[in-house]
Amino acid sequence: MIISKFSNFIHQYLFLGEASFYPTQYGCKNCGYMGKLHRHGYYYRNVITVFGTYKIKVLRVKCPSCKKTHALLPHFLVPYFQYSFYTILFLLFLKFVLGSSYSEILSQVKKFNSLCALNTASLSRFHKRFISKFNEIKAFFAYSTDIYPEADLINFGILIKYIISFERRNISFNTSYFSSMPSYFFSP
């Protein structure tokens, strides 16, 4: 799986259609081949946001050297999650920065999308996963960026603000994290 920077938001991605596909991808993480990876088909994937559910096309590329295929995910997707990166970040912001309860978060989301199937179990899973990745995310900022969290940082809300400030500089946190760290953001 390769996470790559595409159109800024899912709506642009959907509007542009195949015109937004795809930056040419070089380099295979499997075998170290440095040349161009070849297109190898598409598959569809559901993406859930605060505003709705969408079906998007995901390109697969193939390494001509080792024949391994890779999905080329847009930066707004989190591997193995249907909820978009920005939706998860928004929900974590409501929880850790604003201190909202799960019921308050659900009512906020229902204002945007009354059909949203988000529930407390999903919120709890996002909450627990973020807490479990806390030290790894701190390490990412300390070693891979110019943002240096305090070594004794224990405030989850401040770390969420670091991620948001990174995104505001038009740098994809998800793509940068994928490139620098041994596991995907939010992977178990």
Tell me, what's the pLDDT at 132? 92
Q: Using CA atoms, how far apart are residues 168 and 146, in angstroms rounded to an integer?
A: 14
User: 19 pLDDT band (50/70/90 cuts)?
Assistant: low
Identity of residue 180: S
CB 8 within 8 A of CB 25: no
- Cα 182 to Cα 60, 130, 140, 142, distances in angstroms: 21, 16, 10, 15
Tell me, what's the pLDDT at 63? 95
- DSSP-assigned letter for residue 95: I
Q: Using CA atoms, how far apart are residues 186 and 58, in angstroms rounded to an integer?
A: 20
User: 179 pLDDT band (50/70/90 cuts)?
Assistant: confident
Tell me, what's the pLDDT at 172? 79
Is-above-0.85 flag for pTM? no
| Residue 174 CA neighbour count, 13 Å, CB half | 22
